[in-house]
Amino acid sequence: MKKLFVIVLCAFSCSAFAGFNPDNSNLKTIEQAEALPNHSTVMLEGYIVSQAKKKEFYFKDMQNKLIRLKIEDHIWHGLDVSPNTKVRIQGKIDKYLLKSHIEAYQIDKIN
């Protein structure tokens, strides 16, 4: 019984420390993301090309399509990017009438 308890405890604690490893098959273009239902989770690759407001930016995907991107301060984690830095954005699509934007949950540089 003790062995079973230790095995179960180890299984839960090991998975708690596992990092997120994105599955690139979930990668979308902006066009595909905009076709998804509101609040769908998306992963995009491209470039943050300009800043619109304090926490709002414009993101360009690999098909040169633009979308507004909201990034809260705590999401940056000290990451420094320029318009030439390729990034992977994970977040959700938010749709309002004729406009859409992505609310970012995570940003990673891509080499």
Q: Give 89-101 pLDDT, tens digit per residue.
A: 999 999 988 889 9
pLDDT in tens, 33-81: 999 999 999 999 999 999 999 999 999 999 999 999 999 999 999 999 9
Q: For residue 71, what are the contacts with CB-CB under 8 A and spacing of at least 6?
A: 55, 56, 57, 104, 107
* Strand runs labelled E in the chain: 27-28, 41-53, 56-61, 66-70, 86-96, 99-109
Break the chain into its structural domains and give their ranges.
27-109
Residue 13's pLDDT is 43
CATH number of 27-109: 2.40.50.200
Tokens of 88: 């992977």
> What's the average model confidence in pLDDT over 11-35?
63
Tokens of 30: 């902006």
Whole-model pTM: value is 0.74
- Of 2-11, 48-57, 82-91, least confident by mean pLDDT is 2-11
